[in-house]
Each structure stands twice: as C-alpha cells, then as structure tokens.
Amino acid sequence: MKKVVEFFYVDAFTIETFGGNPAGVIPHAENLTDEEMLNIANELNLSETAFLLPSTNDNADYQIKYFTPTKEVDFCGHATLGTAWLMASKYNWIDKDEKIIFESNIGLIPVKWITENNHLKSVSMTQVRPHVKSIDISPEVVADLVGLEETDIDDRYPIKIANTGVPHLMVPVKTRQAIDQAEPKLNELKKMNNHFNISTTHLFTFDTNGEFDIYTRDFCPNIGIDEDPVTGAANGALGGYLYLENILAQQEKHQLVIGQGHTINRPGTLYVTITPDGENAVIEVAGAAVVSIEGKILL
C-alpha cells in the first residue's frame, strides 16, 4: 500500500507568488524514514525541504528536519520561516498560540507571529546566538573563487566565518553591481567551503541606493545548491557578524532591511533585528511568505 504524503511549496521572504526563496514543507513526516525524506527533497528539487515530526522535547511543538536534494542540513532559515507561515495560516496555529517552537539539530527555534489588523503580516524566528571566527584565506583567493576582482572586495571589513546555527563565509563587497556580476567558480568554491566546513559563501554590500540597508547574494555548491535566492540563516549570521565585529554600534538595537535574490529573478526582503544582550546579541530574522503549490506525493 502506498504512502500518501502531503506537501507544499512556500515562497519565503516575499509577498508575491514566485518571488523570494521557495521551500518545500512536509507537515506530516512522522511515518517517513530519512531516506524517504531525502528522496522527497530530491524530487521537489528545491534548495531545502522541511519535514515536521513529533517532538519529545516538552518545550517544542514539533521536531523539524531539513534536507537539500543531496543531504540533510542542520538548519535552514527560509524553510523555517516558510514552515511557520504555513502552520500559522493553513493549520491555524495563529489561533492556538502567539508562536510556534521547532526542535532542530541546532536547538530550539521559536518563531512568533507579527500581525496587523488581525491579519498575519510576517513571522519572526529567533536564531541561536551568533559567533564569528577568523579564516586563513586571502581576499585575492576569495575574490577569484566568487568571480570578483580583488579590488571589488571592501577591505574596510574582514572576511570571516559567521554562525547563527551553521557557518557562512562573510565577504564584504564595495558595490551592488559587482555582486550582481559575480560568476563564481562553483567547483573550486565547493572544495574551499568543504575544506573550511563552511555552509555557504555570502556576499554583502551597503551600496543599495537606499532601496535596502544591505544587499546580498549567497552561493552554496557544497550542499547541492549553486545559489540560494533569499537566505534566512546566512543573513541572520550576517547580522551577528556586523554586531560582533563592531561594524554596527554595539549596545544599540539595530533593525536592518536586506534585499537578496534579484540577480536570479527571485527577489525577496528580510528584516533582521539585532538586540544587545550582554556581550552578545539576539538575532531575529523576519519576513512574509506565500503558499504557492500544494499536492500529494505517492510513495
């Protein structure tokens, strides 16, 4: 007898269907094996698919697992946001509680609702505490790997690994034009990321003509994705990097609007809030979402 598995595509960090970053969501994965989850993620062929299972943690509502088309990953921001949006809007969690809490491989991820006139406007996830570390690699090598000139690298800021759950390489770039024109050497970039145990390589710039506070692109061939359109995990890590490196004033609260995905026609907007907390900070990443596709998979 075949298993019937309900699935959804949820476009995260957008208010437009076919914008932002599409995530697969399987809200009832309790009868699936890890192999079946990987096969489903490969079939849906999105950067990540999230699977919800019962949690044994009294402080969590669900366990959440994430798969790319090729492997399981510990955390995915846009799939978390898309899953929370789906649970709030289609499964009426917005009427049950002010938030939903997922148990993941990196710990508990609370996601709260942001409403306006009793309508869901966005959801906001709190990521794990940020940290940064140095990397022994030259700007010249990084520029070559991501398809930039070395003069495109903004040497006012350090190239470092930042983490709010999984590690991302932060690459400061002088202009949006340079970021848009970047053509990474994906095979070589994959080798470098695997060597340093980096999940993605994240280009960012403050050159946005006032449209956003920051503009970004994200490359991640080592987890089976050439380019991730709009990246909740990497932009949360970016917020932590900017705070911990004192690029944004410490002991002040910051609210950033970040644009991403425009180069590959999946434009999206993220809202990153950085709240000081002792020597560290609390990072929240918020955005809207749209349920674009729903259907059934027959196993």
How does pLDDT run across 64-107, given as a tens digit for each residue? 999 999 999 999 999 999 999 999 999 999 999 999 999 999 99
pLDDT score of 297: 96
Same domain, 192 and 280: yes
Catalytic residue among 48, 103, 227, 284: 48
pLDDT tier at 118, thresholds 50, 70, 90 = confident
- What is the C-alpha to C-alpha distance for residues 277 and 274, in angstroms, rounded to an integer? 9
Q: Are 25 and 102 in contact (CB under 8 A)?
A: no
| Residues 1-46 pLDDT 10s | 788 999 999 999 999 999 999 999 999 999 999 999 999 999 999 9
Domain with 69, as residue range(s), is 4-125+288-298
pLDDT score of 225: 87
Same domain, 135 and 214: yes
Supply the DSSP symbol for 209. T
pLDDT score of 224: 82
CB atoms inside a 10 Å sphere around CB 166: 23
Same domain, 144 and 178: yes
CA-closest candidate to residue 77, choices 9, 7, 13, 157: 13
pLDDT tier at 223, thresholds 50, 70, 90 = confident
pLDDT score of 202: 98
What whole-number percentage of the chain has pLDDT above 70?
Answer: 100
pLDDT score of 111: 98
CATH of the domain at 34: 3.10.310.10
Average pLDDT over residues 147-169: 97
pLDDT tier at 110, thresholds 50, 70, 90 = very high
Q: Which residues contact 191 (CB under 8 A, 6 or more apart)?
A: none
pLDDT score of 91: 93
Same domain, 111 and 141: no
The count of structural domains within the chain is 2
Q: Are 81 and 48 in contact (CB under 8 A)?
A: no
Same domain, 67 and 169: no
Same domain, 105 and 137: no
Same domain, 143 and 280: yes
Same domain, 24 and 148: no
pLDDT score of 286: 98
Q: Say which amino acid occupies 187.
A: N
Bridge pairing between strands 62-67 and 99-104: parallel
Same domain, 99 and 143: no
pLDDT tier at 198, thresholds 50, 70, 90 = very high
- What is the C-alpha to C-alpha distance for residues 166 and 107, in angstroms, rounded to an integer? 12
Same domain, 77 and 141: no
Average pLDDT over residues 108-119: 94
Give kind and range of the element (H or E) at residue 3: none
Q: Are 299 and 5 in contact (CB under 8 A)?
A: yes
Same domain, 151 and 278: yes
| Residues 246-286 pLDDT 10s | 999 999 999 999 999 999 999 999 999 999 998 899 999 99
Q: Are 24 and 7 in contact (CB under 8 A)?
A: yes
What whole-number percentage of the chain has pLDDT above 90?
Answer: 96
pLDDT score of 139: 97
48 belongs to the catalytic site: yes
pLDDT score of 292: 97
Same domain, 159 and 270: yes
Average pLDDT, the chain: 96
